[in-house]
Amino acid sequence: MPTTTSVEELKTQIKRLNSKAGQMKMDLHDLAEGLPTDYETLIEVATSTYEIFREIHDLKQQLKQQEQAK
């Protein structure tokens, strides 16, 4: 049975991931601006960036559900 993450824990996770996601977004932007140089890493960087934003979205949904359940 999965444990329920507290509202404060979710907020902390979201804040930490938002910071990391911002840097990843900048890295992807820089890579895109430099194309075709380093094009080989484009899929990896884009996938990592997508995954972190998906995780943030999922955590925000959990947070919203928990706040509404109060």
Q: What is the pTM of this model?
A: 0.85
Q: What is the residue range of 62's domain?
A: 7-12+39-70
Per-residue model confidence as pLDDT tens digits over 23-67: 999 999 999 999 999 999 999 999 999 999 999 999 999 999 998
What are the two backbone dihedrals, phi and then psi, of residue 6, each rounded to the nearest 5 degrees? -70, 160
pLDDT score of 2: 43
Q: For residue 61, is it within any domain? A: yes
Q: For residue 27, is it within any domain? A: no
CA dihedral sign of residues 5, 6, 9, 15: positive
Q: For residue 58, is it within any domain? A: yes
DSSP classification of residue 41: G
Name the domain count of the chain: 1
